[in-house]
Amino acid sequence: MTATMTPLSEVTRSDAALRMFLHGLPGVDQVGAQARAAALGTRSIKTTAKAWAIDLSIRMVDLTTLEGADTPGKVRALCAKARQPDPSDPGCPPVAAICVYPAMVPVAAEALRGSGIHLASVATAFPSGQAPLSVKLDDTRAAVAAGADEIDMVISRGAFLAGRYLEVFEEIAAVKEACGDAHLKVILETGELVTYDNVRRASWLAMLAGGDFIKTSTGKVQPAATLPVTLIMLEAVRDFLAATGRKVGVKPAGGIRTTKDAIKYLVMVNETVGDGWLDPDWFRFGASTLLNDLLMQRTKLATGHYAGPDYFTLD
Amino acid sequence: MPSKKKDSAPKSAEAAAAAVPEEPQRTRLAVRKTYKLYVGGAFPRSESGRTYVVADSKGNFVANAAQASRKDARDAVLAARAAFGKWSGATAYNRGQVVYRVAEMLESRRDEFVSLEVPAAEVDAAVDRLVWYAGWTDKIAQVLGGANPVAGPYFNLSSPEPSGIVAIVAPRKPTLLGLVSVIAPVIATGNTCIVISDAPRVAITLAEVLATSDLPGGVVNILTGSAAEIGPWLASHADVNGVDLTGLADAKLAVTLEQAAAETLKRVRRPAAALDWSGDPGLVPMTAFLETKTVWHPKGL
């Protein structure tokens, strides 16, 4: 699908070349994408398949707290929940990662030591991304130095929407370098990108610049993750793999609250990019309330009666 | 059809004017009501798509009614939970006004209930009962709560608080008075409820009364169908706080539901003896789903 005349290594040589490449990407059929997403959302996943999907979803959760009111105590409680989401059932798998602000990284690193759970930190002036590059890079280095092994950066939507694509590209590449060994997730904030065409362009831009994951949203802007937007990002990831041989992960974040929603995403992943992405290394859910609903559904399957929110921790 | 003869040529202008309005009379198509569920203030069909036939007392077909499934029960619990915070937080005075408004609306629909084979005296009793509970909303706290004398420099105050979501099995007879008698005390005290009724016409007509009475959506949810099918799901649901089995005639099912409710420590109301629905209800229907909160407050000088 990459109907580009120049090889991919050439397209980032100049602003003009990058613009020509991004604007040369095929346009997204908006109605078609929405219809496809809606159709995939109607699949019925029951019994053993549902149990498998719930456990996989739990393993894919990036358990997130990104509030100004976060305290070390709250982060520790969240880490304990990440290790053992359902204390009444030792068979319940741990989540993929904890996602916190850089200031909370040392606390979380201590609480997660030895658990194998990844520690993600947002960086680069999250959530707006409106800060000088040097500040963003320092933000990133500080988070990595404190123990984060995954960095969730935000792109400069202002620069992107103004058409300064190379600036965004170089910024992502610089943050990637500052990450060192840490995984880089690039937050596109699709709720501010206005069109699906822009989502496709930003996805390619982030992947070209070296992002290991592309992530829909910060969770601070509405709409956050939606099924059509995730579909477009999954297609971009699939096409990028075909064009370059490099596999990139996808993380919808924000607004995914129910097991039913999570399973719709899993169906879409399987149907769009295949089961190679049905793995916490390649697909994540950025969520906080989703985990409780997954646990309630898991309990319902195990006990045969509906579970209630009173029986699970609030955060 | 009118069998008036028509002249081919009108004799005068007056006769012509009289002849003009005479159009062929059309038989109007009957608008039949499908009785659906009442969940979250809306009237959805059953998620399962099932219906069952409702007959009148002579066995004639009168309507199709939605037959609720366990997923409708699950949705109703979500609706009831969503409504609980606002309803339980409303002032007792406000709840009283709303329950009184229900009585007013029921009064204005009395003919409709009579046409559904509810005796007129029973409609009157149901309206009176609502008014009675409307009066109780801001008095029950004074009767059940109060200041407790303690040996120390503290105020010690007890006040009754609603339990949460109550699952109710409505009695088959008396249809309307029974239904009102189980719903009114539960909502008057600030709980929200899910009612299983097997009398769809009366239950859903009452739902129409509730829907037009300033009662927030989700405070009362009515599922029509089988208590044996839906009851166990509600009785075992961990987000339901109480079960009212007063209207359940099937003793064996009642025991099953009690056992299921015990699993999550629900409050259960199940009178030992058969109830006289027309008698004075007393306070038990209200106290069954209230819990007492006691607060210690230091006394200053």
Q: Give the model's confidence band at B13: pLDDT under 50 very low, under 70 low, under 90 confident, else very high.
A: low
Is A215 an annotated catalytic residue? yes
pLDDT tens digits along B16-35: 555 566 667 788 998 888 99
Count of C-beta atoms within a 10 Å radius of residue A288: 21
Domain boundaries, chain A: 8-304
B74/A306 CB distance under 8 A: yes
The one catalytic residue in A81, A136, A176, A215 is A215
- Please choose, from the candidates A85, A102, A103, the residue with its C-alpha nearest in 3D space to the C-alpha of residue A94: A85
Return the pLDDT at A237.
97
Residue A99 is given by DSSP the state E
Q: Are B70 and B48 in contact (CB under 8 A)?
A: no
Q: Quick check: B8 pLDDT over 60?
A: no
The whole-angstrom separation of Cα B128 and Cα B110 is 12
**Which pLDDT band holds residue B274 (cuts at 50, 70, 90)?**
confident
Options 3.40.50.12160, 3.40.50.1970, 3.40.50.2020, 3.20.20.70; CATH of A8-304: 3.20.20.70
Q: Confidence band (pLDDT; 50, 70, 90) for B15?
A: low
Whole-number average pLDDT of chain A: 94
Tell me if A307 and B239 make a contact (CB, 8 A cut-off): yes
Structural Rg of chain B based on CA atoms: 25
Model confidence at A4: pLDDT above 50: no
Task: Say whether residue A46 is in contact with chain B using an 8 A CB cutoff.
Answer: no
Domains plus CATH for chain B? 51-298 (3.40.605.10)
- Of the two residues B11 and A134, the one the predictor is more confident about is A134
Look up A300 and say whether it is catalytic. Answer: no
Q: What percent of chain A has pLDDT over 70?
A: 98
Q: What DSSP designation does A193 have?
A: S
**Best of A88, A297, A306, A310 to mutate (most B CBs within 10 Å, chain B):** A306
Q: How are beta strands A61-64 and B154-162 bridged, if at all?
A: unpaired
- pLDDT (tens digit per residue) in A199-257: 999 999 999 999 999 999 999 999 999 999 999 999 999 999 999 999 999 999 999 99
By the 8 A CB rule, do A126 and A151 touch?
Answer: no
CB contact under 8 Å between B260 and A305, yes or no, is yes
Write out pLDDT tens, residues B70-117.
999 999 999 999 999 999 999 999 999 999 999 999 999 999 999 999
User: Which region, left, alpha or beta, applies to residue B298 given φ > 0 means left and ψ of -120 to 50 means alpha?
Assistant: beta
- Is the Cβ of A88 closer than 8 Å to some Cβ of chain B? no
A97/A161 Cα distance (integer angstroms):
31
Helix B175-188 and helix B92-108: axis angle, to 10°?
160
Residue of B nearest to A307 (CA): B238
Q: Are B224 and B68 in contact (CB under 8 A)?
A: yes
pLDDT tens for each residue of A41-95:
999 999 999 999 999 999 999 999 999 999 999 999 999 999 999 999 999 999 9
Q: Place B272 in a pLDDT band, splitting at 50, 70 and 90.
A: confident
Residue B188 scores a pLDDT above 70:
yes
Residue B1 pLDDT grade (very low, low, confident, very high; cuts 50, 70, 90): very low
Interface of B with A (CB under 8 A): 74, 77, 233, 236-240, 260, 263-264
Tens of pLDDT, residues A270-311: 999 999 999 999 999 999 999 999 999 999 999 999 999 999
A73 vs B: CB within 8 A = no
- Which region among A9-13, A293-297, B116-120 has the lowest average model confidence (pLDDT)? A9-13
Q: What average pLDDT does range B133-141 have in this prediction? A: 96
Residue B226, pLDDT > 90, answer: yes
pLDDT exceeds cutoff 70 at B146: yes
How close B232 comes to chain A (CA, Å)? 9
> Residue B275: its pLDDT value, please?
84
How far is A81 from A315, CA to CA, in rounded Å? Answer: 9
The answer to whether residue A306 neighbours chain B at the CB level (below 8 Å) is: yes
User: How far A220 CA sits from the closest chain B CA (Å)?
Assistant: 24
Other C-beta atoms lying within 10 Å of the C-beta of residue A110: 13
Q: Shortest Cα distance from A287 to chain B (angstroms)? A: 21
Cα dihedral value B69, B71, B74, B80, nearest 10: -70
One of A251, A261, A264, A293 is an active-site residue; which one? A251
Contact in structure between B130 and B106 (CB atoms under 8 Å): yes
- Longest Cα–Cα distance of chain B, Å, equals 105
Between B3 and A157, residue with greater pLDDT: A157
Is A251 known to be catalytic?
A: yes
Q: Residue B144 contacts by C-beta under 8 Å, 6 or more apart in sequence?
A: B158, B160, B283, B287, B290, B292
Interface contact flag, A305 B236, Cβ < 8 Å:
yes
CA–CA dist A82, A288 (Å, integer): 11
For residue B6, give every residue at least 6 positions away whose Cβ sits within 8 Å of its Cβ, in sequence order, or none. Answer: B19, B22
Q: What value does the mean pLDDT take over residues B33-61?
A: 95
Interface test with B, best of A305, A310, A312 (most B CBs within 10 A): A305
